[in-house]
Structure 1
Amino acid sequence: MSWRTGIAAVMAPLALIGCASTPQEGFDPIARAEAPYFDPMVFFLGESVGRGELSKLLSGTVPVRVESAGRMLRPGVLELVQVVTEGDKAPRTRRWEIRKAGEGRWEGTLTDADGLVELYAKGNLLTIQYRMDGNYDVTQRLTLAPDGRSAYNELKVELLGATVAVLAEEIVKTS
Structure 2
Amino acid sequence: MGLLSKIKSYFLVVIAASVLMSCSSASIEDYDKTTPVLNLKTFFDGQLTASGIVQDYSGTVTRKFTVTMEASWQGDEGVINEWFIYDDGEKQTRIWKITDLGNGKYQGTANDILGIAEGEARGSALRWAYDMNLVVDDSEYEVHFDDWMFLVDENTIINKSDIIKFGITVAEVTLVIQKVN
Shared topology, TM-score over 0.5? yes
- Going by fraction, where is strand more abundant, 1 or 2? 2
Counterpart Cα distance in 2 of 1:89 and 1:165: 20
1:69 aligns to what? 70
The corresponding residue for 1:138 is 145
Measured in 2, the distance between the counterparts of 1:32 and 1:152 equals 18
Task: Say whether the 8 Å CA contact 2:96–2:109 is kept in structure 1.
Answer: yes
* CA distances 1:100-154 after superposition (whole Å, capped 9, x unpaired): 1130101121122100011111100111111013431001111101x31101110
2:79 corresponds to 1:79: yes
- How far apart are residue 60 of structure 1 and its match? 4.9
Structure 1 unmatched runs, 5+: 15-30
Distance 2:32 2:150 in 1: 7
Which fold has the larger relative contact order, with Cα–Cα distance below 8 Å and residues 6 or more apart in sequence?
1
Aligned to 2:90: 90
Measured in 2, the distance between the counterparts of 1:77 and 1:165 equals: 31
Partner of 1:173: 179
Could you tell me how far apart the structure 2 residues matched to 1:90 and 1:33 are? 40
Amino acid at match of 1:169: L
Residues in 2 aligned to 1:114 and 1:107: alpha-carbon distance in whole angstroms:
12
Q: How does 1:5-154 map to 2 (within 5 A)?
A: 34-57=34-57, 60-72=61-73, 74-133=74-133, 134-145=141-152, 147-154=153-160
Q: Percent identity, aligned pairs only?
A: 23
Q: Tell me the amino acid that sits aligned with residue 88 of structure 2.
A: D
Q: Does 1:163 align with 2:169?
A: yes
Structure 2 CA distance, aligned partners of 1:167 and 1:32?
Answer: 24
Q: What displacement does 1:89 show?
A: 3.4
Q: How big is the alpha-carbon RMSD for the aligned residues of Structure 1 and Structure 2?
A: 2.4
Letter in 2 for 1:131: D
User: C-alpha separation between the residues in 2 aligned to 1:42 and 1:166?
Assistant: 27
Quickly say closer, same or farther: Cα 1:161–1:89, change in 2 above 3 A. farther
Q: CA deviation at 1:157?
A: 0.5
Partner of 2:137: none
Aligned length: 148
User: What is the DSSP-based 3-state SS (H/G/I as helix, E as strand, rest coil) of the residue aligned with 1:151?
Assistant: strand
Question: Which sections of structure 2, spanning at least 5 residues, go unmatched?
Answer: 15-30, 134-140
- The runs of at least 4 aligned residues of structure 1 exceeding 4 Å deviation read 57-60
Q: TM-score, normalised by structure 2?
A: 0.73
Instruction: Give 1 or 2: higher helix fraction.
Output: 2
Under a length normalisation based on structure 1, what TM-score does the superposition of the two structures give? 0.75
